[in-house]
Amino acid sequence: MKITFMGAGSTVFVRNVIGDSMCSETLRDSEFALYDIDGVRLKESETILTAMNDTMGGHAKITTYLGVENRKEALRGASFVINAIQVGLYDPCTIIDFEVPKKYGLRQTIGDTLGIGGIMRALRTMPVLEDFARDMQEVCPDAWFLNYTNPMAMLSGYMQQYTGIHTVGLCHSVQACRKDLLRLLDMEQYFDGGKELIAGINHMAWLLECKDKDGNDLYPIIRERAKQKMLDSECRDKVRLDYIDKFGYYCTESSEHNAEYNMFYIKSNYPELIEKYNIPLDEYPRRCVNQIEGWKKEFEEIKAQGVKTHNRSSEYASHIMESIVTDTPYKIGGNVLNKGHLISNLPEEACVEVPCLVDGMGIHPTYVGSLPVQCAAMNMTNINVQLLTVEAFVTKKKAHIYQAAMLDPHTGSELDIDTIVKMVDDLIDTHGSWLPKFN
């Protein structure tokens, strides 16, 4: 079996996902085909995975494919394709995503999922995914495309609606959500045997039900403790805790993400909110710089000390592949099109995050029904932007980029329409060839 990893220069992530696969008796004898356009990063990943494979028994075959000219061969015959690319990297594109909007008075925290940063990231990534899909249709048409790249809903939704490739979007915030909340509120005694229902959209899927092992609803305790935790000046999850108070439910992704998915917390006319809610402006650029420096140090340590064995993580990818290959049922939270109104009060063309069952026939989304109306309304403010961004790429109409930015809750609440248009034009010009041409 062949498993292809697109964006294998993401060395830490490829180590975790391929390492997980090497822990599986079902997957460990596979060929792991590593693809990237950066030869240095690709070589680092090959070095680490080869050493890890030797440490874990040498079952796998590691192959590498460098550059666009070798992409089709990397994909040829693959059963699974794992996507973790970052088009434009931190330098220059993430820097552009943050610095250009600052000129117009727009601040961001992460900028990879929604907002003007998420819109730009999607528009420079979709052309690459279009090429991936075209190659896959030719050389591995039945493969599953496991997407980890953000903006998750935009990219997964595009692949699902327009390419015909079997696609699911995966985000580890789903499996971490319940335990993260219980840990934050000192409720670890409820870890074991508990039950949950999570549904919505990526990075804003709602913890709709949270029960203990006996089926008792934990939300009354959660709501009371969340109010007390909001008084803690050191707490770094206040946006999501405020969601519990204002909207009734906790959601999947971190407060630094959710601070910019709405019009409530980052407001130039209310600068005191930044301190009140501990909102880390410019967090993602700082994180990128630290990760780049941290990886250099870690790689030198690995070369000096050798590669240790790997313990299988809770990341979905290896478990999904194992489930499909062995026809053993497995449950995930997956990002899929809302076909058949899996969430009945969100549109069918939206990419939603819902419980999915996996078996030998693939990935099967489950019906959830209606979200609480306020949760669906919050999701729709994000879905509007997602659908318009996909439409902008498919039609190549610049007007849809303007409209996506105007309807983005954070951007639209901070800037007037004319300024939004100027900012978008500036971003398009500054990105240059990283973006397709729009009319």
- The set of catalytic residues is 172
- Alpha-carbon distance 19 to 17, whole Å? 5
Which tokens hold the place of 400? Answer: 């849809």
Residue 127 CA, distance from chain mean position: 18
- Tokens 């710089």 identify what position? 289
Question: b/e map of 107-135 (b: 16 or more CB within 10 Å)?
Answer: bbbbbbbbbbbbbbbbbbbbebbbebbeb
275: region left, alpha or beta (phi > 0 left; psi from -120 to 50 alpha) = alpha
DSSP sequence for 151-162: SHHHHHHHHHHH
Angle at 304 between CA 300 and CA 308, to 5 degrees: 100
Whole-angstrom Cα distance, residue 373 to residue 379? 10
- Compute the distance between CA of residue 424 and CA of residue 138 in angstroms, rounded to an integer: 36
Helix (H), strand (E), coil (C) string for 191-260: CCCCEEEEEEECCEEEEEEEECCCCCECHHHHHHHHHHHCCCCCCCCHHHHHHHHHHCCCECCCHHHHCC
Distances 215 to 194, 195, 221, 336 between C-alpha atoms, Å: 8, 7, 14, 28
**Nearest-angstrom CA–CA distance, 280 and 422:** 26
Strands 144-147 and 166-169: parallel
